[in-house]
Structure 1
Amino acid sequence: MQIKKIVGKKLKEIRLKQNMTIQMLAEKSQVSSNMISRIERGLTTPSVEILMRLATVFDKSINYFVEDVSTSHEVVFTRPGDRDKTVYDDEYNMHTESFTSRLRDPQFMSFYCTVKKGGQSGVKNMYHPGDELIYILEGQLRMTIVDEEFILTRGDSLCFKSHLPHRWENCGDADAKVIWTLSPFTII
């Protein structure tokens, strides 16, 4: 099934379950009623920003609207090497394995990350909605949040509001192994 048809079907289902008209949803989400109607009819694929606005109204992650229920589950068990992999080698010099992929409508996202020696998020700060938790299994990571710097080593954790400007880098002499968790579902 095409992504725009999946999104449209799920949006209409959840709106009707909540006894909400298109106009009511438009007012709550700040998305035009015309756009909502086009999405529900499968005529357009909404931008991430519009999807986030709609998801917030229903207290859902954007993943709720784009996942195919036939390929997602309520319980997901994985062994090392079987997790979905995402590679950021070019951009961040980091390799990730998702703990939460294939989970139906996750309200958080969690990864096992290997940050290569010298890997970093860049010189510019990043920020996004939600909360973040970092737990260091091996190696060293420097986190800068606003103007405060934290050097994290094995066993250290750091939890913060992700709307605060932040950046990170592997400042150690080896790869860093990290469990990284974000809530709600966002993109690193």
Structure 2
Amino acid sequence: MATAHEEHDLPDREIDPSQARETANLEAVIARQVRKYRIAAGLSVGDMAARVGISKAMLSKIENAQTSCSLTTLGRLALGLDIPVTALFRGVDAEREAVYVPAGHGAQISRRGSRVGHHYELLGALRGPHKRMEAVLVTLTESSEVFPLFQHPGTELIYMLEGVMVYGHGEAHYTMRPGDALQLDGEGTHGPQELVELPIRFLSVTAFGDHPDE
């Protein structure tokens, strides 16, 4: 075991620059939120410090992102401002996954309907913490046939963009016009039943569960 003198002589641990940036960003967000809520409550720095039970100097450092708050202090600040603790973290930057597809650049994919003139353009697939989502732009033209019917896991949203069609789901039928939306259980047989006004374009967004059979 190192003595106190030896511990003093140990070199400082290097800090990961990215970790330092995240810490600084967090401190800045907390500083901004504390100041915003304090002013909204009509409290001076002195009043707020007294209410929370910390010194004016400490509160000033917090509001100027010059110190890191302990969990206890964060709890006191939230209690004094009558807000949830999570409100003090709103605005913290966090990398989130996203998929961007410029117009006309979606991947052309083949599905059962491709053989009967259905054109499918994949606009992206994204897996979140609990779900996988897939967005497809479907185009039907004069050469398209009504068939096929589909069945698949997940929940599907159909949003009509152009044209008119009768869309079936199980025993039900829906006349879809631009702006109409239909949400359905993918396990039920579904698909275009009648192509009323061509060309037809609609957006199909399907949310799947964690497992392929969900």
The TM-score normalised by the length of structure 2 is: 0.45
1:142 maps to a residue whose letter is V
Let me know the Cα RMSD of the aligned residues: 2.6
2:91 equivalent to 1:94: no
Q: For residues 90 and 74 of structure 1, what CA distance do their matches in structure 2 show?
A: 30
Q: Does 1:140 align with 2:164?
A: yes
- Tell me which structure has the larger Cα radius of gyration: 2
**C-alpha distance in 2 between matches for 1:179 and 1:160:** 14
Among 146, 150, 154, the alignment partner of 1:120 is 146
- TM (normalized to structure 1)? 0.51
Partner of 1:108: 133
Mark the runs of 5 or more structure 2 residues left unpaired by the alignment: 1-95
Separation in 1, partners of 2:150, 2:187 = 8
Structure scoring higher RCO (CA < 8 A, sep ≥ 6) equals: 1
Change over 3 Å in CA distance of 1:143–1:80 after alignment to 2:
same
Percent identity at matched positions?
20
Residue identity opposite 1:84 in structure 2: A
Unaligned segments of structure 1, at least 5 residues: 1-72
Q: How many residues align?
A: 111
Paired residue for 1:150?
Answer: 174
Whether the 8 Å CA contact 1:93–1:120 is kept in 2: the answer is no
Map residues 53-68 of structure 1 onto 2, 5 A cutoff: none
The ranges of structure 1 where at least 4 consecutive aligned residues each deviate by more than 3 angstroms after the TM superposition are 87-90, 103-106
Shift of 1:92: 3.5
Distance 1:75 1:159 in 2: 23
Q: C-alpha deviations, 1:18-61, integer Å up to 9, x for none?
A: xxxxxxxxxxxxxxxxxxxxxxxxxxxxxxxxxxxxxxxxxxxx
Does the residue aligned with 1:91 lie in a helix, a strand or coil?
helix
In the alignment, is the contact (CA less than 8 A) between 1:130 and 1:163 conserved in 2? yes
